[in-house]
Amino acid sequence: MYTVIGGPSSQNLAKKLAKRLDSNYVPANIQVFPDGESKITIPKIKGKIIIVNSTFPPVDSNLIQTFCLISQAKKYASEVIVIVPYLGYLRQDVEFLPGEIVTSAVIAKSIAACGATRVITVDAHSEIALGYFDIPVINASAITKLALYFKRFNLNDPLIVAVDFFWSANAKKFADVLSTDSIALNKQRDKKTGHLKIIPSMSKNLKGRDIILVDDMISTGNSIILATKYLKKQNCGNIYACCTHGLLVKDSDKRIHQEGIKDIICTNTIPNKNSVVDVSDVLFSALSL
Ligand code: R5P
């Protein structure tokens, strides 16, 4: 029998998961001091523990709180499963430029060192980054759930477009659910300046077709906006933005809508007004793997 602890950043999702598991749910109690340090309390628990805490912004605070929760849970239980629905820092998975710290490796080591026995995350940005864990990791997928959500819309001959080439297999999986086709854009980012560009390579006639742009995350929205500008030139129909992790920093939501995007659809790995797709069942299934 598990007890599910809802960390400060994922209490609703943790509660939903506990309900599916028919388990006890315990919210972590958090107080943040004026200097930003946090005091977290969880009651003494018997049996196996599942911690759910996402590491969206403020990423560092949410990470520290996750480490603290694992460390305390380990005092109570020999099995501590940590679910980090959005696991931050995975983009830094190799030393791209000399001297850059491979942050994902540091995070992986820290989670294991705090006492986690297993990790579950959703649509991790990088398999390389997950390779730094020396404890079992499950990378669950929200693609099917995201795609099913779009069945409610009356789409005109939809085309699924991966904003990044590395998501082409996921775009294909998404398209299969909607019985349609997919393509991937060739987006390139300058490693020094961060400047983005799309290398033109359009082989399909998009005229009038509705587009669903898919990606693992939307952060500043710059990738989605760039893709939208490019696709609009091909006279496509409505454009929707869809991702697992809606970081949507600063005014990106507004900027994306200003670009003419019809809707932004995300999951509740990061709770916000666009997180309309619940992944508690995806986590539930991952626990039985
Ligand atoms: C890139 O590697 C990722 O898959 C996303 O495309 C990217 O992180 C989105 O970031 P932004 O919204 O800032 O362009």
- Residue of 94, 104, 215 to mutate, ligand 1, most atoms within 8 A of C-beta: 215
85 lines ligand 1 (CB under 6 A): no
Is residue 86 a contact partner of residue 270, using CB atoms and an 8 Å limit?
yes
Query: What pLDDT is attached to residue 195?
Result: 87
Q: Given the CA of residue 167, which atom of ligand 1 is nearest to it?
A: 4
Distance 18 CA to ligand 1 centre (A): 31
Query: What pLDDT is attached to residue 186?
Result: 85
Q: Given the CA of residue 91, which atom of ligand 1 is nearest to it?
A: 2
Distance 217 CA to ligand 1 centre (A): 6
Among residues of the chain, what percentage have pLDDT more than 90? 91
Q: Do 143-268 and 2-141+279-287 fall under one CATH topology?
A: yes
Q: Which residues are catalytic?
A: 187
Residue 31 has pLDDT above 80, yes or no: yes
222 lines ligand 1 (CB under 6 A): yes
Among residues of the chain, what percentage have pLDDT more than 70? 100
Hey, which CATH number is domain 2-141+279-287, 3.30.70.20, 3.20.20.70, 3.40.50.720, 3.40.50.2020? Answer: 3.40.50.2020
Architecture of domain 143-268: 3-Layer(aba) Sandwich (3.40)
> Per-domain residue ranges for the chain?
2-141+279-287, 143-268
pLDDT tens string 47-99: 999 999 999 999 999 999 999 999 999 999 999 999 999 999 999 999 998 99
What is the model's pTM? 0.95
Query: What pLDDT is attached to residue 134?
Result: 97
Query: What pLDDT is attached to residue 37?
Result: 94
220 lines ligand 1 (CB under 6 A): yes
